[in-house]
Amino acid sequence: MEDIEREPTQLYLISPLDVGGTFPERLARALDAAPVAAFQFRVKDVDQHEAARLAEPLQKICAEREVAFIVNDSISLAKRLGADGVHIGQEDGTVEEARNALGRDAQIGVTCHDSRHLAMDAGEEGADYVAFGAFFPTTTKQVKHTAGLDLLEWWQGIFEIPCVAIGGITPENCGPLVKAGADFLAVSGAVWNGDEVAVVKAFHEAMSAAMKAEG
């Protein structure tokens, strides 16, 4: 099993809560700066009609660049938009509900915090990826669970389903996550609170360096 060469870790961008104004231009610049695997549309406290209006230009930008467009929390919004997938927390419905609503080709991810048990359950239910975190302090959302590198190493050693690391990840601290086995790094604040082009490029350089060091 050790001889299987790992795919390089990829970037998974999560939107800030404010995606209006100039954000579509910022997203396009970020996606053009270096390869990004997926973009998660994450808005709070807006009705579905308004969410759909905000999503439309962002979904188009992602489609033009073949970046997966994932909706956070809402299976019904993902269905309405014809999104590529949905990311669900522990209170947002089940993998089965999402699969029935969105079809077998949809990408369904599940937040598993720091729990091996939740991750194994999600895998058995047919999730396409599991997300662990938070790995570092983050200002994007309140941290109730802290995950360690051993969780990524354990998952990578046993399971085929990709795992996503999330929570306070920056180009400066991401190296150990890559080496521990994160298939994707989910990032938000580090990119949108700075120069998105420079930060996306810095992430790529750091991820490549960590993969080379591992290899």
The mean of the pLDDT values for the chain is 95
How much is the pLDDT for 130? 98
How much is the pLDDT for 4? 55
Q: What is the largest CA-CA distance in the chain?
A: 49
Q: Comparing C-alpha atoms, which of 165, 180, 182, 149 is closest to residue 9? A: 182
> What average pLDDT score do residues 64-89 get?
98
> What average pLDDT score do residues 178-200 get?
97
Q: Is the pLDDT at 81 greater than 50, yes or no? A: yes
The CB-based long-range contact list for 139-142 (8 Å cut-off, 24+ gap) reads 139/189, 140/14, 140/188, 140/189
Q: Is the pLDDT at 147 greater than 70, yes or no? A: yes
> Which DSSP category does 44 fall into?
-
pLDDT tier for residue 3 given thresholds of 50, 70 and 90: very low
pTM over cut 0.85: yes
Contact in structure between 72 and 41 (CB atoms under 8 Å): yes
CA distances from 99 to 24, 30, 43, 128, 143 (A): 29, 30, 22, 10, 28
How much is the pLDDT for 6? 78
pLDDT tier for residue 2 given thresholds of 50, 70 and 90: very low
Tell me which of 53-62, 171-180, 205-214 is least confident.
205-214
C-alpha to C-alpha distance for 156 and 6, rounded to whole angstroms = 10
pLDDT tier for residue 179 given thresholds of 50, 70 and 90: very high
